[in-house]
Amino acid sequence: MDTKGLAWWRNSIGYIIYPESFKDSNDDGVGDIRGIVSKLDYLKELGVNLLWICPLFKSPMDDGGYDVSDYRQINPRFGTMEDFDDLLSEAHKRGIRILIDFVLNHTSDEHPWFQTAIRDPGSKERGYYFFREGRKANGKELPPNNWKGFFSTSAWERLPGSDLYYLHIFSKKMPDVNWANPELRERYFEIARFYLDKGVDGFRLDAVAHLAKDLSFADSAGQPDEDGFVYDTSKFSNRPELFDYLQMLKKNVFSHYDCLTVGEAGGNISPQDALKMADRQNGSINLVFNFDTVWDNGNYGSIDKGDQDIRTDVISLKDNFMRWYEVCHERADMPLYWCNHDHPRVVSQYGSIAFRAESAKMLFNTILFLYGTPFIYNGEEIGMSNVNYARCEDFFSDVGTRNDVASLRSRGYDDGKILGYLNRTSRVNARTPMQWDRTRYAGFSAHRGVNRVNDNYLSGVNVADEMADPWSILNFYQYAIGLRKDPVINEQVLEGRLEIVDHGHPDVFAYLHDGKDKLMVISNFRPYQVYFSFYYALGDVLLHNYDQVLLSDHVFALRPFETYLLRLR
């Protein structure tokens, strides 16, 4: 709680770090904890005061560290436990809180629990995972059921030399753990306490929507794909027992600390279910990340489309934000974000690289003053955009993309088509090295990173150039964050009644916070001029990404991606 008894995250500005590609301190081509420490002053100056750092634990790195082989050790690629402790204390000195990424739906197959489980059928660890016998049909060996996982394969993998399969809804190197097992739960409670006792300020709870599965393991009745598998997330998402597991986490761990817990809830969670989790009175966690506002342009799964078919659906975007706001705002806090390490870069997704500065500023202004706690994804503040790689193989650092390509190739798509799709949608786009300056590899490292740096660091898309330019995206971010943290504006944003203005406008996202004061955001999402009627008494222009206000006869002419934050009279 802060001095006014408010939860501290209600006036926090979050920043998401993907450690592998953020800053490399020892020039081995991999970002690391010391690299993060070296950039804390930069982050403080930007105005952020809360970091979510993607996994730092020991891991064979099959899935960017989300495949944990030892929760209590730091991955040597990223540093040591001393480095981590140092990061905590250096961040705290600067008033920056730290959330770590807690992966509790699965472990790595190299985790000692899984190794014991497969070696010893009588072990207690055996009950930590899901092992089931396969089926036979027409002489063919088949997995225990027809479920398909998130990474384009069956959700089951056969144990070599056995009839048994284990469940993995993500990569086959990430067996799912069994939260119905009380002893397994206790293991995770201990890990959470271990980090909270060290002083971390909370957790981003990875893939938390999937902790409870349909334990009947019955086939899905949905439409099977070419291989007979059904992508039916209802079998392992937001099921009733999940809410009990989260309450147990709260009772046994979270309620004993002043910590922030942010759940990643995929699987099409409804705002009502999210409210069950995050209700201030009787919920179990504090914020719920949903995916509803990330792909409002037809880009998701768009292999059969071309770039020209992707267009932001501004009305749907407004509806999606408001759907969540209406259900949650009186009873729960919410996070706000455009992008993380799992999505394409937001400038490419909803903005335009032809209007990089205009659209990056517009997108930030639009999200920053909505109801909730904003999270910036590293590189967003300098307008980093999608890569433009030349071969599908350039994306193969990511297991999800690799599996996707294999599946598309087997379905007959040619590489040209697949490549366009990856350049538009793959999460590798968000995982290229952070662009710090104009030196080789963009000042990220003296060596090539895991993914090739985006060449646009040479044309101004880097922190050093952005700092030097008073009109840059970075300076706009810094100034905008300062405004958002102003106590009067913050209160207005969190307590004022949020309303969409001109809901039916297909190109403009405009909203108003009506309360003690009146704040209004007006944003043009198009790369061309549009018009917007305005029947209010204009007070001050607090933020604007063009020079000159084009307002006459109660109509704003909004140039490409033009945006305003206004105070009304």
CB hemisphere CA count around 11 (13 angstroms): 20
Select from 60-68, 352-360, 379-387, 540-548 the region that touches ligand GLC (CB under 6 A): 60-68
Report the alpha-carbon angle 300-305-307, nearest 5: 90
> Of 35, 79, 40, 29, nearest to 445 (Cα)?
29
Verify whether residue 206 is a known catalytic residue: yes
Tell whether residue 269 is a contact of ligand GLC (CB under 6 A). Answer: no
Select from 3-11, 63-71, 158-166, 252-260 the region that touches ligand GLC (CB under 6 A): 63-71
How many whole angstroms separate alpha carbon 295 and alpha carbon 270? 16
Report the alpha-carbon angle 510-516-518, nearest 5: 25
How many whole angstroms separate alpha carbon 204 and alpha carbon 402? 26
Type of residue at 543: L
DSSP codes joined into one string, 243-296 = HHHHHHHHHHTGGGS--EEEEE-TTT--HHHHHHHH-TTT-SSSEEE-STTT-T
Tell whether residue 66 is a contact of ligand GLC (CB under 6 A). Answer: yes
Verify whether residue 41 is a known catalytic residue: no
Rank residues 246 and 357 by Cβ distance to ligand GLC and give the closer one: 246
How many whole angstroms separate alpha carbon 173 and alpha carbon 133? 19
Rank residues 104 and 362 by Cβ distance to ligand GLC and give the closer one: 104
Select from 62-70, 180-188, 352-360, 507-515 the region that touches ligand GLC (CB under 6 A): 62-70
> Which x/- pattern, by CB under 6 A, does the window 286-315 give for ligand GLC?
------------------------------
Helix and strand tally (H, E) in the chain?
15, 23
> Which x/- pattern, by CB under 6 A, does the window 330-349 give for ligand GLC?
-----------xx-------
The active-site residue, picked from 109, 264, 273, 358, is 264
Select from 58-66, 113-121, 184-192, 533-541 the region that touches ligand GLC (CB under 6 A): 58-66
Rank residues 64 and 175 by Cβ distance to ligand GLC and give the closer one: 64
**Residues that contact ligand GLC, how many (by CB under 6 A):** 10
CB of 444 to ligand GLC, least distance (A): 20
Residues 168-207 that bind ligand GLC (CB under 6 A): 170, 206-207
* Sign of the dihedral through C-alpha 463, 464, 465, 470: positive
CB hemisphere CA count around 519 (13 angstroms): 25
The residue whose Cβ lies closest to ligand GLC is: 66
Q: How far is CA 412 from CA 139, 189, 194, 406, 407, in A?
A: 27, 46, 49, 10, 9
CB of 170 to ligand GLC, least distance (A): 4
Rank residues 36 and 54 by Cβ distance to ligand GLC and give the closer one: 54
Rank residues 342 and 562 by Cβ distance to ligand GLC and give the closer one: 342
How many whole angstroms separate alpha carbon 391 and alpha carbon 47? 38
Tell whether residue 325 is a contact of ligand GLC (CB under 6 A). Answer: no
CB of 264 to ligand GLC, least distance (A): 6
The active-site residue, picked from 206, 394, 491, 562, is 206
How many whole angstroms separate alpha carbon 529 and alpha carbon 515? 31
The residue behind tokens 């926090």 is 12
Select from 38-46, 61-69, 452-460, 465-473 the region that touches ligand GLC (CB under 6 A): 61-69
Active site residues per annotation:
206, 264
Q: Contact positions toward ligand GLC, by CB under 6 A?
A: 63-64, 66, 103, 170, 206-207, 264, 341-342
